[in-house]
Structure 1
Amino acid sequence: MKELYEEIIERVGVGIHAVNRDGKTIIYNKKMREMEVMEKEDVLHKDVRDVFQFQENQSSTLLKSLQQGEEIVNVKQTYFNNRGVEITTINNTFPLTVDGKIYAAVEIATDVTRMERLMRQNLRQTKTDFTFHHIIGKSSEIKEVIDLAKRATRTNSNVLIIGETGTGKELFAQSIHAESERSGAPFITQNCAALPDTLIEGILFGTTKGAFTGAIDSPGLFEQAQGGTLLLDELNSLNIALQAKLLRVLQERKVRRIGGSKEISIDVRVIATINEDPIDAIANNHLRKDLYYRLAVVTLFIPPLRERNGDIPVLIEEFIKKYNELFKLNVMSVSEEVLQFFESQSWPGNVRELEHVIEASMNLVNHEQVIEFNHLPYQYRKSEMARPMPTQPKIETPKNKDGTNLTEQLALFEKQTIEEYLKAHQYHITNTALALGISRQSLQYRMKRLNIRVSKN
């Protein structure tokens, strides 16, 4: 039975730490070792005061329970292991007595270190680093988005920013906040894909002490962002059930902490980003339709880099300037060969990928003032113009009919071309637009103008 009890204690999913009447550890299970990043031999049979350090005006809840003979329930404790690693736990501690005498104390602990760090990070993240001046580009495509984003600074409406990874969605979000009337209030960011559902719900909406094991009174991001802006990055990664709760908060402008009964009024502007087409996100059950309509009061489509090739030279110039200062170099430009190569790429990682290529290339520069092809990272040199052109549908030129002028002929050819490309790409709007070399919005506009309906029959 003793071996059975020891095995159970070792395998349970909460930390268990017990000390004898002298304050020396007698039980220290696997979960506790994982939480405190310690080995058994570091702690077992040693005085906890010699192993752990506690914050000023705090002491070990284990020793406190041992000395005072009292049960301590749901107490948060922050302390440091023997290597100075900070740990935060929620503890339930109680003394063990025999014949009225205390002979040991046991602590059952839940790890909240990660949540505590995230809360601190979000509380610190109350200012923006970027404004519209930091958005680089001279193309009509990016100027149109900037103009629309600037108009959004005049109101408090929710904003949905749509764009592929690396297009600069957070840059636009920060710029909107920085130039709005909320600029003096908090700007808080949360990546919805970075945390499991069990953590993100409490972080968004807050928790009430006793709501679940280890829960403490803690404000959520909506409360922390009061009067300011909350950026929910990669919203389409958020669990659908949590999206329903988020919708309720946006509709009622009130939030209720987990386990709480009090409704807290909030004044928060929400900016959300997604990295896929919202129609596809809704169809794939990544985004609730009603939440989409609630958020998309103002919608910004950030064009991918391949749709604004004209911005590549100015982006290159800006990145070279940045890394010249960081690396103490004197690079002036890229060669014509490199520029042509860049303009031929599809850039799946968009502006961020281009910046990384410039940074990597400048790491290979010695005293040269021009980035040549041999300075590029290996994977780009290897792929030099190696990709074959994709097979495109064959379009027959429409024959001229009596009474049709050039405008009518061009419209007929345009309609036939779009219809053939739609069919070749299984009527997928985004893929068709990509193959045609135009934006999704442009394709949809042309389809409406030419009365083209998507049909698979």
Structure 2
Amino acid sequence: MKKDHHAAKLENEIDLYKQMLDLIDVGVHAIDENGNTVVYNKKMMEIESLKRSDVLHKNVLDFFAFQDEMHSTLVQALRIGKQTVHAKQTYHNYNGKEITTINHTYPLVRDGLIQGAVEISNDVTKLERLIHHNMKKKGNTRFTFDSIIGKSPVFSEVIEHAKRATRTSSYVLIVGETGTGKELFAQSIHNGSSRSSGPFITQNCAALPDNLIESLLFGTQKGAFTGATDQPGLFEQAQGGTLLLDEINSLNPALQAKLLRVLQEKSVRRLGSTKEIAVDVRVIANMNEDPVDAIAGGRMRKDLFYRLGIVTLFIPPLSERKEDIPTFVSHFIQKYNELFQMNVKAADEEVLALFQAYDWPGNVRELEHVIEAGMNMMMDEAYLSLHHLPYHFRFKHGEGRPAAQLQANPLQKTAAADTFVYTSPEHTTDFQTQMEQFEKQYIVHYLEKMDDNISQTAKILGMSRQSLQYRMKKLHISRQ
């Protein structure tokens, strides 16, 4: 009778322990010396989307998939007595659900021998998904320093200076021609800094009239003007993050003075309000002209430049780092291979020579557009060739051809000097049709000039005989 009472008391205590384990907000999973589950509480069931009956008294490796058995902290604790704390672990249950937890794992020792192991888990699966979702939602900050292409010495120096700027919250001024990648640098600085989890907001200062830009930047107070409402400006919206002001030199001097006050005081006053609102915002500004020229021309206040230009990055144009062109070409071909479901291997030697000879006034952006346009003209060819490139690029004032090539081929001089008049087809404004008709008329014009000599026509057009024959076939040009 006494024994039955002891057994009942023990059973009651075990039941109390089970209830306590089910009430705590962490997952508890314990295994015995054989790896079989002996404790599996309610929170652990929620974390791993499993029933207690599915796991209890069964081997841990039968229900959870790891890259390797020893990737399981629970198995490590059992087999080698390893204690692990604050360990992030991602694994899959037998239903294929991915689970991410922060674990504290301990071996259970009795009489100097490992008798089992216990794992206490905090579920961070939802947090991981939320972070991933927010990163995708941000979208406009997808660039990091790994996204920046180019290894020329002059460009590598700029990248190094930009990386150093991530260590502080000082204002940054980025100077570079259109298409050099100024916003790419701005996003990389933001994502590499302690503000990376904060907002990244961009505003082109030339995109809107002065009155709208002012209210957009600084916000409005209800009653400030007809229809005005309480509206936070971009500085308030960028709190704790980064505000990128593009084409800062397009702001009028009065607005530049107001901007300077915000930068100095680190507070903003909404239009129509007397209340100062403290702002913690890193400002990065872009401009596409030399600050000295902008100041001399009255397009930028000198005091604003001194305040903004604590860190000034001058991004060199593509014409000053042509050794990076082959890298860009490979990158963009691969990019549009994926987008267009194509398998272009590379640009041929003629194209690369043309790219090296060209000055690229539109910089990297222009190079990308030329490659994208060229790949749109390709069929099943493996290499991007001259005849694939857009006309405005190939024949623009005879530019883009090495001078030595023109000198070596007098026929090309004749072509450059020859007058070709394009006759637009009636009743069509379709761009593709116009381009095809232009190309057809252009080829026919020089075929007639060269008395239908394919080889001579190919030379005067700066392409191979095979390329010309391909274009003729595609455009249904037949010559007797």
Q: How does 1:159-308 map to 2 (within 5 A)?
A: 159-308=172-321
Which residues of 2 match residues 290-439 of structure 1 at below 5 A?
A: 290-383=303-396, 386=399
How big is the shift at 1:133? Answer: 0.5
1:126–1:187 Cα contact (<8 Å) kept: no
2:449 maps to none
Secondary structure of the corresponding residue to residue 290 of structure 1: helix
Q: 3-state SS of the aligned residue for 1:160? A: strand
Tell me, which stretches of 5 or more residues in structure 1 are unaligned? 1-123, 391-457
Shift of 1:383: 3.3
Contact 1:142 1:303 in 2 (8 A): yes
Residue from 151, 154, 160 that aligns with 1:138 = 151
Which residue in 1 is equivalent to 2:160? 147
SS at structure 2 position matched to 1:300: strand
Amino acid at match of 2:168: T
Spell out, residue by residue over 1:64-113, the C-alpha distance to the aligned partner (whole angstroms, 9 max, x if none).
xxxxxxxxxxxxxxxxxxxxxxxxxxxxxxxxxxxxxxxxxxxxxxxxxx
* Distance apart, 1:386 and its partner CA: 4.3
Unaligned runs of 5+ in 2: 1-136, 404-480
Q: Distance in 1 between matches of 2:295 and 2:194?
A: 32
If you compute each CA radius of gyration, which structure gives the higher value, 1 or 2? 2
- Structure 1 pair 125–235 and aligned structure 2 pair: CA distance change class (3 A): farther
SS in 1 for 2:303: helix
Matches of 1:175 and 1:388, distance apart in 2:
36
Secondary structure of 2:197's partner?
coil
User: Aligned AA for 2:219?
Assistant: G
Secondary structure of 2:286's match?
A: strand
Alignment length, in residue pairs? 267
Three-state SS of the structure 2 residue aligned to 1:273 is strand
In 1, the alpha carbon distance for the partners of 2:155 and 2:367 equals 16
- Say if 1:126 and 1:188, in contact at 8 Å, map to a contact too: no
Distance 1:142 1:378 in 2: 31
Q: What is the CA-CA distance between 1:313 and the residue it aligns to?
A: 0.2
**Structure of greater relative contact order (alpha carbons < 8 Å, 6+ residues apart):** 1
Give, in angstroms, the shift of residue 384 of structure 1. Answer: 7.7
2-side partners of 1:301 and 1:172: how far apart? Answer: 11
* Contact persistence 1:127–1:186 (CA under 8 A): no
- Identity, in percent, stands at 67
The secondary structure found in structure 1 opposite 2:179 is coil
Task: Calculate the aligned-residue CA RMSD, in Å.
Answer: 1.7
Decide which structure has greater helix share.
2
| CA distance 1:353–1:211, change in 2 (3 Å) | same
Please tell me whether the aligned partners of residues 393 and 400 of structure 2 are also in contact (alpha carbons under 8 angstroms). no
Q: Which secondary structure does the structure 1 equivalent of 2:193 belong to? A: coil
**Contact 1:131 1:176 (8 Å CA) reproduced:** yes
Distance 2:240 2:297 in 1: 34
**8 Å contact from structure 1 (residues 125, 188) kept in 2:** no
**Paired residue type of 1:348:** P
Cα distance in structure 1, aligned partners of 2:139 and 2:341: 32
Contact 1:231 1:270 in 2 (8 A): yes
Partners of 1:338 and 1:371 within 8 A in 2? yes
Give the structure-2-normalised TM-score. 0.54
Cα distance in structure 1, aligned partners of 2:221 and 2:139: 24
